[in-house]
Amino acid sequence: MLYQVSKPGRYSGGEWNSTAKNWETTPIRIVLAYPDTYEIGMSNLALPILYEIINSQPDALAERVYAPWVDMEAAMRLHNTPLFSLESRRPLKDFDVIGFSLGHELTYTNVLNMLDLAQISPLSSQRDNSYPLIIAGGSCALNPEPMAEFIDLFVIGEGEEVILELLESFRAYRGSKRELLRKAACLRGIYVPSLYQVNYKKDGTVTSFMPVAPEAKPTVERRVVTKLPPPVTRPVVPYIQVIHDRAAIEIQRGCSRGCRFCQAGIIYRPVRERPQEEIINAVGEIIKYCGYKEISLVSLSSGDYSNADQLITELSRQYHRDNLTLSLPSLRLDISSKLMDSLPLRRKINLTFAPEAGTERLRRIINKAIPEEVMLNTIAAAFNKGWNLKLYFMIGLPTETIEDIQGIIDLVHKISHLRGKPGGRQPQLRVSVSTLIPKPHTPYQWLGQEEKEQLLPKLELLKQGLRRARIGLSWRDPNASQLEACLSRGDRRLSKVIYYAWQLGCKFDAWHEHFNYHDWLVAFQENGVDPAFYAHRQRSLDELLPWEHINTGISSSFLKKEYERIWQDKETPDCRHGPCNACGLQHWQPSCQQKFKATATKPPTNN
């Protein structure tokens, strides 16, 4: 079949550093599944960590599988070939556990398609003890309800510790899926949807989540690792080019900036930094064992890493002979001049910044209040080094006006002028615009998403305003953004919609050439569900939300306070450099407890 498909390296396996343990002598067999193409899945940071942890257990093996592209799927169905793993090429149905990483809602139909290709029913109610246990984790698992009919259990939060606890449960109860699920539900961070009953009001909102087994907890707490595990220094090296074709080291996890639209800033709190010495040693090992010449220092806000400029300077000094290139994704526009100067000049760098909004008023409302002068100074310094830039903006933000959209155009024009005179060799400048998707567990979770009719005039204004400056503009399809809003904020009734859409042929919904909005609308209509109920409806602060039973550690009172500050035009300072904001983690983390106590003893201020 590989001669008949594009990019056969997606399916060949045998990559450098891949682990192929003895199938016959290893009793517990797990396949880690990413519901998108190989190129995207191989750039995921979570799967290599779990791959290494599981394979370090003497009685367990971990292999990998990714969503086959449409040509490979057609060949597999033609030849009746079940979906197989890369390491041993065993059919997925021969494994004990299939673990999906859910990082994007528009991959949900791919999960169903992969199970069907594996000759496994997507519906958990139709799978008996002879089928593998289907589990899922990732950021989307923080609202597991839309996928509740397909997944046996969800891992809520960080998986480095709980995966070992799950292995213990599996060793003890692998003969009975029912007993295994009940025992697993006792573990912190494990949600078993079949052990809960959801009740609804006549208006469609949720009335209650009722545990139907003594092991099921009323609320499921997010798992958080206190100390980051050692970085993966022998990751699998792909044979083909992938999206992020470089090595990556997570230098810190979590972000305390508090951007109100950002779900990651909530669900990965608190901030935990990796020691500088550990990072420097890991870079050396990656160069030795993988041969990469470019390494990405990854975090939600890489410039916030303590003494980041010293780290980069030391890495550049130690590995100068290796011709090492460093990249720092997720930089803020208020990074220090010392950090900017420390970035190596050896190769042209592509920097990505996210101003998000075009006016200081709107940036203050989303709690990302970076003064325009500071942004322009940072960008001027980047252009002076010859670096290319990509800027990310959002539309559909609360209190947004046409003046704010014009503010994006004006800001981009000012930035464009910093590139120098036309005619010479100018750094590239690209602009990307997306629609706000109010995500669960954020202060925006009660907001309604703007409808397409409101968004299109704003997009048209942006296209006209930036076309005159000959600046490349890309934007997200508003229909795809609406679907993402539905799936991210939906309840258990959306499982039927997802299943019906998949039956109609929906898959690779995040790929514009395969996204079929019409078929999704048919799926909603046939199941009596209005997408506007989930995407565009404003929620009251006392409504029981579909993800209310998932406890991230961030209190509802903090989120409501942040929601009120939207309309009050107030900022919330970064607690990393100031007083504790009492987000709720002070009850979970020792470092937060200490800061909370110190703040509580101070006399109140006027503001």
| CB under 8 A, 24+ apart: contacts of 192-195 | 192/152, 192/153, 192/154, 192/216, 193/144, 193/145, 193/148, 193/149, 193/151, 193/153, 193/154, 193/492, 194/124, 194/125, 194/152
Q: What confidence tens digit (pLDDT) does each residue in 402-457 have?
A: 999 999 999 999 999 998 766 667 888 999 999 999 999 999 999 999 999 999 99
CA 310, 315, 321, 322 dihedral sign is negative
pLDDT at residue 598, as a whole number: 65
> What does the CA dihedral 314, 319, 321, 327 come to, rounded to 10 degrees?
-90
Task: With H, G, I as helix, E, B as strand and everything else as coil, classify residue 580.
Answer: coil
Please tell me what DSSP assigns to residue 246: S
Which is nearest to 396 in space by CA: 459, 449, 334?
A: 449
Query: Which domains can be identified in the chain, with CATH numbers?
Result: 2-221 (3.40.50.280), 348-493+529-568 (3.30.750.200), 573-607 (no CATH)
Strand-strand pairing, 252-253 and 272-273: antiparallel
Q: Where are the beta strands (DSSP E) in 374-484?
A: 388-395, 429-435, 472-475
Name 272's bridge partners.
253
Query: What DSSP line would sit under 65-84, residue for residue?
Result: EEPPPHHHHHHHHHTTPPPB
What is the pLDDT of the chain when averaged over all its residues? Answer: 93
Q: Can you read off the two tokens belonging to residue 512?
A: 């514009």
Q: What confidence tens digit (pLDDT) does each residue in 337-385 have?
A: 788 887 765 566 678 899 999 999 999 999 999 999 999 999 999 898 8
How many Å apart are CA 356 and CA 368, to the nearest integer?
Answer: 8
Give yes or no for a contact between 350 and 390, defined as CB atoms under 8 angstroms apart. yes
Strand-strand pairing, 247-250 and 294-298: parallel
pLDDT at residue 469, as a whole number: 76
Please tell me what DSSP assigns to residue 477: -
Give yes or no for a contact between 23 and 97, defined as CB atoms under 8 angstroms apart. no
Which residues, given as ranges, of the chain have pLDDT below 50?
A: 604-607
Contacts of 85 (CB under 8 A, 6+ apart): 13, 31, 63, 64, 65, 92, 95
pLDDT at residue 206, as a whole number: 96
